[in-house]
Amino acid sequence: MKPVLKTTFFLSLFCFSFNGYAQLELQKPSIIPQPVSLRLGNDHFLINNETVLELAGNQKELKPAADFFISYIKGISDYTLAIKKAKTNVITLKKVNNPLLGEEGYTLLVNSNGIQIAANGRAGIVYGMQSIFQTLPQIQTNAALQIPGMEITDYPRFKWRGMHLDVSRHFFSPDMVKEYIDLMASYKINTFHWHLVDDQGWRIEIKKYPKLTDVGAWRVDQNKRVWSSRPLAKPGEPATYGGYYTQKQIKDIIEYAAIRNVTIVPEIEMPGHVASAIAAYPQLSCSQHPQLPLTGGDYGPVAANYCAGNEEVYAFLEDVLTEVLALFPSKYIHIGGDEVNKTAWKNCPKCQSRIKTSGLKDEHELQSYFITRMEKFLIGKQRRMIGWDEILEGGLAPEATVMSWRGEAGGIEAAKMKHQVIMTPSNPVYFDQYQAGPEGEPMAIGGFNSLKEVYDYEPVPEEMTAKDAKYLLGAQANVWTEYIVTKSHLEYMVLPRMLALGEVLWSPAVRKNWVDFSDRLKYHFNGFDQKGYHYSPGNYTVAIKPLISQGKLSAELLVEATKGDIFYTLNGDQPSTASLKYTGPISIDSTATLKAMYALDGALMGLVPAKQSFVFDLATAKKVNYVHPQAKIYSADGPNSLTDGIRGTTSLQKYWHGFDGKDLIATIDLGQQATIGTAALGCLQNYDEWVILPQWVKFEASTDGVNFKELKTVNHTIPIDQKYTLLHDFKAVFKPVTTRYVRVTAKVLDALPKGHSGAGLPAWIFADEIILTK
Ligand code: ACM
Ligand code: ZN
């Protein structure tokens, strides 16, 4: 039995008054990305069993598109559409010659008589279909297949509209890869960057080197442990986790993508991030020591680079690429090039000899030599090479395309050098980072790229001249999967951010509108619900932001979604739609726990309520002056973070003021005389991140802000090399004094100890709050 659905998912109904007499009900489609132009008609077209498809133009080109349409309709209904000529009840696919539409644009006309999709080629025809699919039910249904009357003219802003997927850190099945491609295609994203090779797994069958997948694709299963703290594999332990794609499966996926206008760009990472290849063929590394496939993020002594001085490596890579090129028709081939730790090259006689004989300056130039050599091979096969922005270091290969991920600087520099560029800055288009919370969100690698940040992303940097911008092909989001193990988690990380990216890359900048996008998004969420896809409701998560103004503390509640209301409580209770409704900053004048949730059409949205506790004391909301300012990248919620009533968490980003190698010297002006008997400074220690508790903390008082008298100095006995993150309050109790100013001095550790990665260099101080009580 098929479920009977009463609504179509992607349609919103709205009414308008016609000459003051009639109420006409029209259906406004919620298409994402927003088309260049969309005019609503006043009727609709109904697909039924008699509906036919007519191909007007090159049959060979149009037939596969027609088959795609037929199979899609079959997937959501009982209808099997025939291909033939007809006067009515017909969907016409028409090949035209319209320069405005380019290679991927289309026009779409829907009225009660039929549908016409016109385009210069198959890509545009298929995109016209995707716009239609978004107005239809998303799963098998008995509901009418009703498409609103409309007229669309549409074409993309950028040529390269990319999504990346790392299948090395975790392996995703061919079916999941197809689902990913389907999602991309729905939102008119046309390039799938398939990250097939990395340290923790080699995922593509190479017939000449079977051990790459026999050995390199399998590791000891440590999925129950956090990525960064997995033990190295021991000899004899069964390597049961992994997988790879056979060449047959890859061909099938490439075909599947092609009909959806998705080009697959394979990434065969080199010269670093290849511990998996070295596990299979140890002779490819500098040390040539045997090693086992990595289980996670702990590398121990494992080699991760190819030896750049060994001819056998180049021959191996040319063989590998020869098989890759035979599979993938893509003009572009990605060779990685990121994050190469060059220590092994420094200590390798072969690498050093290559530096000498080739007249290279250093290991950066050795990397450039390596990449340039591989580029020459690819150019000889009529392909173009892409690399991450590190390939700029040591000299860019002559025709390389640069993928800028460490911000946009690499891309800007490459465009200046007249090289093609793809923007993929980690902020905001790394979809492995949190999108809200993080409370309530599944564990992610860190960082924060919300839906709205993605939506607001402008791929052409302000610093880029119009002339240089010609080299900008487009942009892409990257999905690294260290923390993404399952299909549902992968869906969650890309939905709905992929939709925002689609609109950034397709729609004209002037057509972007966050409020309108949020509105359209709801219907896509309905579709995901129907299909059982997981997605983040992070855009409904409330963010709580402290505000300090004129010695008073308040809390501002922010949410990315529009049109709903925020409800909150101050006593720790779960908020409901019966709770206080937010109308503006909430005054905080005593210790409180604020919880808030967003509601839309009477229903609470999001995963968990946002929650923030405030401690209220004599210092709260009072002005703080620093001798050395806090580091910009650790400025918490602003200059008054030490008196905002908010305590830090174990996350380095959450509400800590960081001081880089300097003492923290802060003076609080209480505004008037007050009596205090205790003082405390909250601090954090995280050994690996160079954050060490201050040696001691001194509290002093002054009535004039000039002459200070010591109240107490507090020491501690906590060892600095504890492996876990530690929160510690330096608390002083003294005979009560009446004072207006309190000065806090926290002494930094001047030199990190031997064995620490920063040995000899000063530590950081992290502080969250100064607390003064009677
Ligand atoms: C990268 O994120 N290492 C390209
Ligand atoms: Zn070497």
Provide the terminal-to-terminal Cα distance of the chain, rounded to the nearest Å.
71
Active site residue 193: no
pLDDT, average across residues 81-106: 97
Alpha-carbon span 624 to 126, nearest angstrom: 60
Instruction: Indicate whether 6 pLDDT > 70.
Output: no
pLDDT, average across residues 552-564: 95
- The predicted-structure confidence for 278-307, as pLDDT tens digits, reads as follows 999 999 999 999 999 999 999 999 999 999
Q: Which atom of ligand 1 is nearest to the CA of 480?
A: 2
Alpha-carbon span 300 to 281, nearest angstrom: 18
Note residues around ion ligand 2 (Cβ under 5 angstroms).
Answer: 286, 307, 309, 348, 350-351
Pick from 30, 49, 46: nearest CA to 38: 30
Alpha-carbon span 29 to 14, nearest angstrom: 11
Which ligand has the nearest atom to the CA of 310?
Answer: 2
Question: What is the pLDDT confidence band of residue 19, given thresholds at 50, 70 and 90?
Answer: very low
Which ligand has the nearest atom to the CA of 313?
Answer: 2
500 CA to middle of ligand 1, Å?
21
Are 127 and 150 spatial neighbours (Cβ–Cβ below 8 Å)?
Answer: no
700 CA to middle of ligand 1, Å?
47
Alpha-carbon span 402 to 14, nearest angstrom: 46
CA atoms within 13 A on the CB side of 82: 6
Q: Which atom of ligand 1 is nearest to the CA of 478?
A: 2
Instruction: Indicate whether 389 pLDDT > 90.
Output: yes
Question: What is the pLDDT confidence band of residue 597, given thresholds at 50, 70 and 90?
Answer: very high
Active site residue 339: yes
Q: Which atom of ligand 1 is nearest to the CA of 426?
A: 2
The structure tokens listed for 551 are 């010695």
Are 531 and 510 spatial neighbours (Cβ–Cβ below 8 Å)?
Answer: no
Instruction: Indicate whether 2 pLDDT > 90.
Output: no
Which residues lie below 8 Å from residue 639, measured CB to CB, with a gap of 6+?
624
353 CA to middle of ligand 2, Å?
9
The whole-angstrom distance between residue 435's C-alpha and the CA centroid of its chain comes to 8
405 CA to middle of ligand 1, Å?
6
pLDDT at 633: 86
Local structure of residue 92 (DSSP, 8 states): E
- The predicted-structure confidence for 38-84, as pLDDT tens digits, reads as follows 999 999 999 999 999 999 999 999 999 999 999 999 999 999 999 99
Are 692 and 675 spatial neighbours (Cβ–Cβ below 8 Å)?
Answer: no
Which ligand has the nearest atom to the CA of 199?
Answer: 1
Alpha-carbon span 37 to 155, nearest angstrom: 9
Please report which helix (H) or strand (E) contains residue 518, including its range. helix 514-531
Active site residue 273: yes
- The predicted-structure confidence for 502-539, as pLDDT tens digits, reads as follows 999 999 999 999 999 999 999 999 999 999 999 999 99
Determine which one of 170, 273, 419, 657 is catalytic: 273
Mutating to test ligand 1, I would choose from 273, 274, 339, 403 the residue with most ligand atoms within 8 A of its C-beta, which is 339
Pick from 227, 232, 204: nearest CA to 217: 204
- Percentage of the chain modeled with pLDDT above 70: 96
Alpha-carbon span 185 to 179, nearest angstrom: 10
CB atoms near residue 441 (< 10 Å): 19
- The predicted-structure confidence for 463-474, as pLDDT tens digits, reads as follows 999 999 999 999
Mean pLDDT, rounded, of the chain: 94
Ligand 1 lining (C-beta closer than 6 Å): 338-339, 388, 405
Determine which one of 54, 154, 166, 198 is catalytic: 198
Q: Which atom of ligand 1 is nearest to the CA of 405?
A: 4
Sheet of strand 106-111, all strands in order from the earlier edge strand to the far edge: 37-47, 145-154, 106-111, 114-119, 90-95, 52-56, 82-83
Alpha-carbon span 489 to 534, nearest angstrom: 7
Question: What is the pLDDT confidence band of residue 27, given thresholds at 50, 70 and 90?
Answer: low
CB atoms near residue 649 (< 10 Å): 16
- The predicted-structure confidence for 709-737, as pLDDT tens digits, reads as follows 999 999 999 999 876 889 999 999 999 99
State the burial class of residue 315 (Cβ atoms within 10 Å of its Cβ: 0-12, 13-18, 19+).
exposed
**pTM to 2 decimals?**
0.91
Alpha-carbon span 6 to 585, nearest angstrom: 41
Question: According to DSSP H, which parts of 300-342 are helical?
Answer: 311-327
Question: What is the pLDDT confidence band of residue 406, given thresholds at 50, 70 and 90?
Answer: very high
Which residues lie below 8 Å from residue 248, measured CB to CB, with a gap of 6+?
none
